[in-house]
Structure 1
Amino acid sequence: MEFKLGYEKLDLSFEHAYCIGYSGRDVNKTKAHINELKALGVPEPDSIPEIYHLEPYLFRQEKNISIIGERSSGEAEIVVIFDGENRYVTLGSDHTDRELETVSIHKSKQLCAKPIAQSLWKFEDVEKHWDDLELRSYVQEDGEWTLYQEDKVSGILPYEKLIESLNEFGANLNKTVVYCGTVPLVNGFKYPEKFKAELVDSVQNKTIRLEYGVSKL
Structure 2
Amino acid sequence: MVKLFAIGYAGRDKEKTWEHIEELKEIGVPEPSSVPELYALSPSLIDQSEEISVVGNKTSGEAEIVLIFDENGDVKVTVGSDHTDRDLETVSIQKSKQICDKPLAKETIDLADIEDEWDDIKLYCDVLVDGEWQKYQEGTFASIIPLVEILNFLEKHDVPKKDAIVYSGTVPLINGFVYGDGYRCGIHSDKLNKTISIEYKLDKLKE
TM-score past 0.5 threshold: yes
1:140 partnered with 2:128: yes
One-letter identity of the residue aligned with 2:5: Y
Which has the higher mean CA deviation after the structures are superposed, 165-174 or 56-65? 165-174
Q: In the TM superposition, what is the alpha-carbon distance from 1:194 to its structure 2 partner?
A: 0.9
Deviation string, structure 1 residues 44-65 (Cα, Å, up to 9, x no partner): 0000000000111101100000
Instruction: Report how many residues are paired.
Output: 204
Q: In the TM superposition, what is the alpha-carbon distance from 1:173 to its structure 2 partner?
A: 2.3
Counterpart in the other structure of 2:37: 50
| Aligned equivalents of 1:173, 1:33: Cα separation in 2 | 30
1:56-67 mapped onto 2 (5 Å cutoff): 56-67=43-54
% same residue: 48
Q: Secondary structure at the match of 1:187?
A: coil
What TM-score results when the alignment is normalised by the length of structure 2? 0.97
One-letter identity of the residue aligned with 1:105: I
Q: In the TM superposition, what is the alpha-carbon distance from 1:40 to its structure 2 partner?
A: 1.1
Counterpart in the other structure of 1:95: 83
| Aligned equivalents of 2:113, 2:97: Cα separation in 1 | 30
**5+ residue gaps in structure 1?**
1-13
1:202 partnered with 2:190: yes
Counterpart in the other structure of 1:191: 179
Q: Secondary structure at the match of 1:100?
A: helix
Q: In the TM superposition, what is the alpha-carbon distance from 1:120 to its structure 2 partner?
A: 0.6
Q: In the TM superposition, what is the alpha-carbon distance from 1:204 to its structure 2 partner?
A: 1.9
TM-align CA RMSD: 0.8
Counterpart in the other structure of 1:26: 13
| Aligned equivalents of 1:202, 1:111: Cα separation in 2 | 35
1:37 partnered with 2:15: no
Q: Secondary structure at the match of 2:118?
A: helix
Q: In the TM superposition, what is the alpha-carbon distance from 1:169 to its structure 2 partner?
A: 1.5
| Aligned equivalents of 2:122, 2:116: Cα separation in 1 | 14
Q: Secondary structure at the match of 2:16?
A: helix
| Aligned equivalents of 2:33, 2:161: Cα separation in 1 | 22
Deviation string, structure 1 residues 168-212 (Cα, Å, up to 9, x no partner): 222122111000001000001011101101101112211001100
| Aligned equivalents of 1:94, 1:160: Cα separation in 2 | 22
| Aligned equivalents of 1:154, 1:128: Cα separation in 2 | 13
Counterpart in the other structure of 1:86: 74
One-letter identity of the residue aligned with 2:202: V
Counterpart in the other structure of 2:105: 117
**5+ residue gaps in structure 2?**
none
| Aligned equivalents of 2:73, 2:169: Cα separation in 1 | 23
Moved >2 Å (runs of 4+): none
Q: Secondary structure at the match of 1:119?
A: coil
Q: Secondary structure at the match of 1:31?
A: helix
What TM-score results when the alignment is normalised by the length of structure 1? 0.92
| Aligned equivalents of 2:73, 2:21: Cα separation in 1 | 36
Native 8 Å contact 2:62 2:170 kept in 1 = yes
